[in-house]
Amino acid sequence: MMNKLQQVVSFVRDQYKTDKFIPLHEPRFRGNEKAYLLDTIDSTFVSSVGAYVDKFELMMQELTGTTKAIAVVNGTASLQVALRLAGVRPGDEVITQALTFIATANAIAYNGAVPIFLDVDLDTMGLSPYAVNLFLEEFGELREDGCYNKATGKKISACMPMHTFGFPVHMDELLQACAKWNIPVVEDAAESLGSYYKGKHTGSMGLIGGFSFNGNKTITSGGGGAIVTNNLDMGIHAKYLTTTAKKPHPYEFFHDEMGYNFRMPNLNAALACAQMEELEGFLADKRKLASEYEVFFQHEGIKFRTETQDTKANYWLMCVELADRTERDNFLKFTNDNGVMTRPIWTLMYRLPMYASSQRDTQRNAEFLEERIVNIPSSVR
């Protein structure tokens, strides 16, 4: 095993052509980033209003094929507002997955709602339509105003799948399951910019979706996010809520809803626009790296995770599946000790103290993946 791990470290170093520390995913700035940032500074419009905010929103609409995009301060904020717009209210429940980053669950909690954690599919690592169907057949109860949980009496007001590491979930089957029970789908597309399911961009297939542009994402605005939807009225409302719900007026301040100061600054949007111009090249480089990883790991007898049929993944964070927890831990220790950053998949949400009491199913697949999945360096070269 040690010799195999040495081969892994050597191979990764060959891909990045360095003997220095190799991070998991670092940004690349090789386009108009500096020029756009300087232009923003010269304009003095560095805060929440500016031409680059408008431009970035249009770029997101074009990329995702949606009617309206709204730039916000981060991915968590995009999900929080998206859930509220989908109808999630305090005391409600939201179906999601336990195998996810904490922001997915926190966005639900920020709305005063409670997550229901259902299992993922082994192939996508995202929310399983089969698990959703199974749960709703046992616990779902359709009433005049929506679906309710027979076990708790609470309304299930949304379902939020997360496209894990940029691998799209089985959206057709999930949308069908949720439509049957009158549950809107809110897509957590935070990790999946540039990923497609049957030709449709992630985030565009549900009622509303949210993206992240954190420093470790495929493209970054430093900190930032975006909401996308094909419902124009909902999109306009999203813009209104995220700009403090202030009624338009030349100088008076009147707010008629509880809004949020979730505006993306023009300075961040300038960076985002320059990064969006580089996206096609970034995605091509990452797909090439994924192909090289796949061949290498197949030769080493280690499973490299690839996109599923009818999808095109962005390969945001690439990953391998080890035989068991012991092999996983050995892999993590050796690579990190030798200057190649790797990390395990997230701790399942119901193992965290704030979500320990949440309703869940068996989580057989999620627990299998938790013990075996490791992310490997995935930066654009």
* Joined tokens for residue 322: 């080890």
- Tell me: pLDDT of 2 over 80: no
Average pLDDT over residues 235-259: 96
Would you state the pLDDT for residue 295? 98
Which residues neighbour 261 within 8 Å (Cβ) at sequence distance 6 or greater? Answer: 243, 244
CA distance to 145, 148, 361, per residue, from 141 (Å)? 11, 5, 17
Q: Which of 271, 317, 321, 282 is nearest to 301 (CA)?
A: 321
pTM over 0.95: yes
E-state strands within the chain? 68-72, 93-97, 114-118, 140-143, 146-149, 155-159, 186-188, 196-197, 200-201, 208-212, 225-229, 303-304, 311-312, 318-321, 343-344, 373-376
First to last CA, the chain: 28
Please name the amino acid found at residue 84.
Answer: R
Strand order in the sheet with 200-201: 200-201, 196-197, 311-312
- Tell me the per-residue pLDDT of 87-96, one tens digit each, with 9 for 90 and over: 999 999 999 9
Domain 33-276 matching CATH 3.40.1360.10: the answer reads no
Rounded distance, CA 168 to CA 162, Å?
A: 8
pLDDT category at 370 given cuts 50, 70, 90 is: very high
Structural domain spans, the chain = 33-276
Rounded distance, CA 22 to CA 340, Å?
A: 5
Q: Is 184 helix (H, G, I), strand (E, B) or coil?
A: coil
Q: What is the mean pLDDT of the chain?
A: 97
pLDDT category at 144 given cuts 50, 70, 90 is: very high
Would you state the pLDDT for residue 160? 99
Q: Which of 56, 66, 60, 111 is nearest to 208 (CA)?
A: 66
Would you state the pLDDT for residue 252? 95
